[in-house]
Amino acid sequence: MYRILLGNDKTALAVLAVLAAVTVAVPLCSLLFPAGSALHFSAYTVSLLGKYMTFALLGLSLDLVWGYAGILALGHGAFFALGGYAMGMYLMRQIGERGVYGNPLLPDFMVFLNWDKLPWYWHGFDRFGFAMAMVLLAPGFLAFVFGWLAFRARVAGVYLSIMTQALTYALMLAFFRNEMGFGGNNGLTDFKDILGFNIQAEGVRAALLFISGAALIGALLGCRWLVNTKLGRVVTAIRDQESRVRFIGYRVEMYKLWIFVFAAMLAGIAGALYVPQVGIINPSEFSPLNSLEIVVWVALGGRGTLYGAIVGAVLVNFGKTVFTGLLPDAWLFVLGGAFILVTLALPDGIAGLLNRRLKERTA
């Protein structure tokens, strides 16, 4: 099993070790050491690292469909946003009478808009189990319907990419409308607690980081196992020679659909973990620009490696945090320049460069 999951890939093992160390050490240090200690991590740092973990999981899910199935989904952020909204709806239902208007049933934005009853699609979100099921089912169902129609029609390449981008743009416009019942342009925010615990408490922040890290590690190991199974090898073969795979009798559209839906569910989990750590979810998460940024993470990190997507997501978002604080107007130019540079000089991304260096040392 160890060889199947990691093989002789020392870079993957190193990334996994770093993830495990951060997942365990940072939450413990934030709770065990006092604020004045050099080993203490502030609530802001813990939340920031947790957010990076969720972005890494999102990048991993895109690498699964792009790097291994050859499906460049330029609207992959839609699945992330749907998972986030499912979690946000649960958190809004937990506010109850503590809202500004004190309504025990309706969220504040519904009271402000003079809604007289809770929409039918909000029912059930007062239960954590139902909300978590929707975190998986909402993006999974959307991916299934879209994939079923697109793959059966043999839509591929740039046309499929444009269609996914149009899908997320349409969802963004729909969620901006107040009539949809999802908070309009303000989205869902002002969360109070999760499972009865104060969402701002240091212990909860540490727990969310730990859960995000554990989910990322589990997803990385699960995806590495998946791509080494027969299903994964067939999917990779479809990426390289789709017509030949179809000719020898495989139902190509079903393999594509399966991996597409699975990746969408992973993105939904990432969105659900992201929302309680940042405290808001709004329609801007559906923006096509966000989905394009995910593609940049994977390309910079090295697609088709899984751990490369994790490295790319963390590095790009760390750079975004630094540059938006120092030179906010220059960040997009830096990101674009880095993407062009890596594309021209490092077509295999950072992961490819690391693998070549390791081979040179061991040669």
DSSP string, 238-260: HHHHHHHHHHTT--HHHHHHHHH
Cα separation, 311 vs 351, in Å, equals 8
The residue among 260, 313, 269, 220 whose CA lies nearest residue 70 is 260
The residue among 225, 210, 218 whose CA lies nearest residue 21 is 210
- The one-letter amino acid code at 302 reads G
User: What pLDDT is recorded for position 153?
Assistant: 92
Cα separation, 82 vs 285, in Å, equals 9
The residue among 109, 122, 76 whose CA lies nearest residue 296 is 76
pLDDT tens digits, the chain, 363 residues: what are they? 545 555 567 788 888 999 999 999 999 999 999 888 888 999 999 999 999 999 999 999 999 999 999 999 999 999 999 999 999 999 999 998 998 888 889 999 999 999 989 999 999 999 999 999 999 999 999 999 999 999 999 998 899 999 999 999 999 999 999 999 999 999 999 999 999 999 999 999 999 999 999 999 999 999 999 999 999 999 999 999 989 999 998 999 999 999 999 999 999 999 999 999 999 999 999 999 999 999 999 999 988 999 999 999 999 999 889 888 787 777 878 888 877 887 787 778 888 777 777 766 765
Residues 6+ apart with CB under 8 A from 27: 46, 206, 207, 209, 210
Cα separation, 21 vs 138, in Å, equals 32
| pTM of the entire predicted model | 0.94
Cα separation, 207 vs 195, in Å, equals 12
SS3 for 82? helix
**Hey, where are the domains in the chain?**
2-362
Q: Is the dihedral of CA 315, 318, 323, 326 positive or negative?
A: negative
Residue 103 φ then ψ, to 5°: -80, 125
The residue among 62, 64, 103, 57 whose CA lies nearest residue 84 is 57
Beta bridge partners of 189: 280
User: What pLDDT is recorded for position 362?
Assistant: 67
Rama region for 9: left / alpha / beta (φ>0; ψ in -120 to 50; rest): beta
